Amino acid sequence: MPRTIPVQLPNGRYWPKKSDAATHFREMLGRYSVGERVQNSTDHSDLSSLLTVYDKTVAPGEPTKSGNGIAYFEKGLDRDHPGHTQCFFVFRMDGTSVDFSLSRALDAVTQ
């Protein structure tokens, strides 16, 4: 029988199974149009918390997804697979941005 892996984020959000968390974030991504900024405060909090954990897995000296702080999130098209994959981008306080993989971030949370 497969092992159930729970997901707990620093903002208090909890899912009993990783697949439930993946569904939550996939549905969130589906609610936004490409180029649309995440305005919902709960969505912003969930994405920020997910990146907080994801960034803890980055090797020392390597850049984090959050950089020097998160300004906002926006749905966009993956730069490595233009037109094929939609994802969230984190826009940092310094004006830079980077995309991130929800599945890789969830993998980091459950390590």
Question: Nearest 5°: phi and psi at 81?
Answer: -135, 65
Q: In the structure encoding, which two tokens stand for residue 68, read together?
A: 């020097």
Could you say which residues of the chain have pLDDT below 70? 1-2, 81-83
The architecture CATH gives domain 10-109: Roll (3.10)
Q: Rounded CA gap, 47 and 102, in Å?
A: 9
Residue 58: what pLDDT?
87
Domain ranges of the chain: 10-109
Residues paired with residue 3 on neighbouring β-strands, in sequence order: none
Would the CA dihedral through 68, 71, 72, 76 be positive or negative?
Answer: negative
Residue 82: what pLDDT?
63
What are the tens digits of pLDDT across the range 35-49?
A: 999 999 999 999 999
Q: Would the pTM count as exceeding 0.75?
A: yes
